Amino acid sequence: MPCITELHKYFYENRIKIIKPSIYFHITPVAIAHWIMGYGSFTRKGLILCTDSFSIKEVVLLINILIIKYDINCVIQYNTKKYPRIYIRKESMYKLRKIVLPYMHKSMLYKLGL
């Protein structure tokens, strides 16, 4: 499918998944909703976004985008295998819900603590 081939070049280089700075323009409310539905996990009233396959530099880039574009308070947390993940703090959950709720499938609302 041509649309998949087009997306592939944004996220893979030499068969390795990567994040480029141009992702800034693609992190939309719809994209965040899909990210949560696929790789999000509600915990302790906050939310973890799994980013295990990305470098620390790429995770910092994603965090900066969430902070700058959406004013979402988030930090890096490491899982038990020492992979960096994004933790969205509970004080930003209301704001996050407001941003993504229109795009979330109702069967996935538990990932927002609803």
pLDDT value of position 35: 97
What is the rounded distance in angstroms from the CA atom of residue 41 to the CA atom of residue 93? 12
Q: Which residues of the chain have pLDDT under 50?
A: none
What is the rounded distance in angstroms from the CA atom of residue 51 to the CA atom of residue 4? 21
pLDDT value of position 90: 96
pLDDT value of position 6: 76
pLDDT value of position 46: 95
pLDDT value of position 13: 86
Tokens 């470098």 locate to: 55
pLDDT value of position 47: 98
Instruction: Give the DSSP letter of residue 92.
Output: G
pLDDT value of position 99: 98
Which CA distances in Å does 88 have to 3, 45, 68, 93?
31, 9, 14, 7
In this structure, the number of other CB atoms found within 10 A of the CB of residue 19 comes to 19
Write down all domains in the chain, each with its CATH number in brackets.
Answer: 26-112 (3.10.28.10)
pLDDT value of position 87: 98
Tokens 């020492």 locate to: 82
Alpha-carbon 84 to chain mean position:
12
Residue count of the chain, please give it. Answer: 114
Handedness of CA 40, 102, 88, 59 (dihedral sign): positive
